[in-house]
A and B are shown apart, each in its own frame.
Chain A
Amino acid sequence: AQKITQTQPGMFVQEKEAVTLDCTYDTSDPSYGLFWYKQPSSGEMIFLIYQGSYDQQNATEGRYSLNFQKARKSANLVISASQLGDSAMYFCAMRSSGGGADGLTFGKGTHLIIQP
């Protein structure tokens, strides 16, 4: 069974600061993918960034980057130069590449609030 743990239920960060959202995971599958989604107060789920378990480099997408430490089973999301619009729930999720693993397993999320 897969498990995602997000230990920060809420975070307050000053605008323009960098922020790191923690995510640790547990799986016995050798091949898997890690995803981060943003959920603003309006409720939709927005895909942010992906990291494959065999990727040699950490993923980056604009202001988002993923600090992937495979041996520690962590995949922390780093948001650089935070903006007020970054205030939202952030979910870490994973999926294995094997059969019968279609659905994403989500963590409980971190509520990020950016303060001016």
Chain B
Amino acid sequence: EPEVTQTPSHQVTQMGQEVILRCVPISNHLYFYWYRQILGQKVEFLVSFYNNEISEKSEIFDDQFSVERPDGSNFTLKIRSTKLEDSAMYFCASSFGLLLPNEQFFGPGTRLTVL
């Protein structure tokens, strides 16, 4: 069964450093998403991406975040200058379409720890 994959599973970085989180969405899906989950809290939407551009972004997704689809398979989230409060689990998700139901399938997550 096709699945969303994410690398790395865990990343530790120093405050102020740039990190790139990588995702490979399900191959025939057209919409890609990033979510984050701070430890013990609910999952929060960051951004959606379609047709090589951002479709929607939340208030959390400020100028320090960027997304890119550098090739036909990868989808990345870059955090330019990490802060302590960026420590969280970051989930990539993908869906075939946007019309309901088109459920979003999540990857296993990348746990980011900022020291």
Contact = CB atoms under 8 A, between A and B. Distances in A.
A and B from one assembly?
Answer: yes
Interface of A: 31-33, 35, 37, 42-47, 50, 52, 91, 93, 95, 97, 100-109
Nearest to B56: A102
Contacts of B104: 35, 47, 104
Given A32-B100, A44-B109, 11 more contacts: A37-B106, A43-B108, A45-B91, A50-B103, A52-B100, A100-B56, A102-B45, A103-B47, A106-B42, A106-B43, A108-B41
A47 B55 contact: no
Nearest to A32: B100
Nearest to A52: B100
A91 B42 contact: yes
Nearest to A53: B100
A93 B58 CA distance: 16
**Interface residues of chain B: helix, strand, loop or mixed (majority):** strand
Contacts of A106: 42-44
Contacts of B103: 35, 47, 50
A108 B41 CA distance: 6
A47 B105 contact: yes
A100 B43 CA distance: 19
